């Protein structure tokens, strides 16, 4: 009876809050607190303890650094160089801008590890450019929305760090496991973008010459080298994933400030505030999930549902 009552209160309050437009993290915490008071046998003091425990992990320190690195690349000129190289490489094909969109998501994802950073950097550049070139708005937005989630698959990835923390798995193994699915996703999107563009006779960009291709490659090389630096350092045990996230920030500062010379105090401040907001959102959800999981364990929900499933 406790399980039925607590589960109903827990899920009901969360669903009600989400329908009202309450942020997800606050909805989860509100539902968990309502379930604690509805049960009566749990001490409400456990709530702040579990909320803190959900964020108290050394491995989670990599999240704000990766987000800051992604924000710096988005605003510091790195993403523009990657996009220019991708355009020069595949712009000559049918749907070249869309294919370039996907390739940029792969390259940018291997650096920032965040779909949010990827979408803000690539979408803000590609969607207006594709619409101006004559591509339909729905096609431009659709390919961007479909390619941006590649970022959490390509290492380094914030999603893998969070998953490794929750499930107590190896972050490095999860990083390596995401490479093949990410590349398969990218290949499927490239083929679909080319096929749709060819069937609808979408515009084709002029082919870039060998000199233009080489020039954009050389300019983008510092950004292209970043994923190899991070993954190579982690695989060779030179530094951990958390240390790699800090190295990413330092590298992004050096490349944006000294190589591309586009870093300013305003850009630095905007990058920091963006990373702080995104980090707070992720951490609050993790804290709420910790309390949510504890409440389910308190009423033995996993064992009860497991026994019910086994009985069938």
Closest CA to 181 of 232, 106, 70: 106
Query: For residue range 111-130, what is the model confidence (pLDDT) as tens digits?
Result: 656 666 667 667 777 788 78
Provide mean pLDDT across the span 186-212.
84
Q: Cα separation of 119 and 123, whole Å?
A: 5
Quote the pLDDT of residue 177: 85
CA distances to 155, 177, 198, 243, 282 from 64, rounded to whole Å, are 16, 23, 41, 12, 9
Quote the pLDDT of residue 80: 77
CA distances to 7, 77, 113, 125, 293 from 286, rounded to whole Å, are 20, 32, 18, 31, 10
- Contacts of residue 91, defined as CB under 8 A and 6 or more positions apart, other chains included, come to 97, 100, 205, 206, 207, 208
- Please state, rounded to an integer, the average pLDDT across all residues of the chain: 82
Both structure tokens of 305: 């549902």
Strand, coil or helix: what is 222? helix
Both structure tokens of 2: 């406790």
Provide mean pLDDT across the span 242-261.
86
Q: Which residue has the higher pLDDT, 95 or 196?
A: 196
How would residue 101 be classed by pLDDT, with cut points 50, 70 and 90?
confident
Q: Cα separation of 76 and 271, whole Å?
A: 9
Is 0.75 surpassed by the pTM of this model? no
Quote the pLDDT of residue 269: 93
Rounded to 10 degrees, the C-alpha dihedral 214/219/221/227 comes to -130
pLDDT at 188 over 80: yes
Provide mean pLDDT across the span 162-174.
80
Query: For residue range 17-36, what is the model confidence (pLDDT) as tens digits?
Result: 999 999 888 898 898 888 88
Quote the pLDDT of residue 110: 61
How many C-beta neighbours within 10 Å does residue 202 have?
Answer: 21
Provide mean pLDDT across the span 46-70.
83
């Amino acid at each position: 009876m406790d399980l039925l009552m607590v589960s109903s209160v827990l899920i009901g309050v969360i669903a009600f809050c989400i329908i009202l437009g309450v942020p997800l993290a606050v909805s989860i915490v509100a539902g968990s607190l309502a379930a604690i008071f509805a049960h009566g046998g749990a001490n409400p003091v456990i709530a702040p303890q579990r909320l803190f425990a959900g964020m108290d992990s050394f491995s989670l320190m990599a999240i704000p650094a990766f987000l800051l690195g992604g924000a710096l690349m988005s605003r510091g000129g790195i993403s523009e160089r990657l996009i220019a190289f991708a355009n020069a490489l595949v712009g000559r094909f049918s749907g070249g801008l869309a294919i370039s969109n996907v390739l940029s998501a792969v390259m940018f994802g291997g650096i920032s590890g965040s779909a949010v950073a990827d979408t803000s950097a690539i979408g803000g550049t590609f969607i207006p450019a594709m619409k101006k070139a004559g591509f339909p708005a729905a096609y431009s937005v659709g390919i961007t929305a479909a390619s941006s989630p590649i970022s959490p698959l390509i290492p380094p990835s914030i999603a893998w760090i969070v998953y490794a923390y929750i499930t107590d798995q190896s972050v490095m193994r999860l990083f390596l496991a995401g490479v093949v699915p990410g590349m398969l996703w990218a290949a499927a999107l490239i083929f679909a973008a080319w096929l749709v563009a060819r069937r609808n006779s979408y515009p084709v960009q002029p082919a870039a010459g060998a000199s233009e291709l080489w020039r954009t490659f050389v300019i983008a090389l510092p950004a292209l080298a970043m994923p190899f630096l991070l993954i190579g350092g982690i695989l060779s045990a030179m530094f951990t994933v958390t240390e790699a996230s800090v190295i990413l920030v330092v590298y992004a500062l050096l490349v944006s400030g000294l190589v591309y010379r586009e870093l300013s105090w305003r850009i630095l401040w905007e990058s920091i505030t963006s990373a702080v907001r995104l980090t707070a959102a992720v951490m609050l959800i993790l804290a709420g999930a910790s309390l949510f999981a504890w409440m389910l364990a308190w009423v033995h929900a996993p064992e009860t549902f497991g026994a019910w499933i086994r009985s069938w």
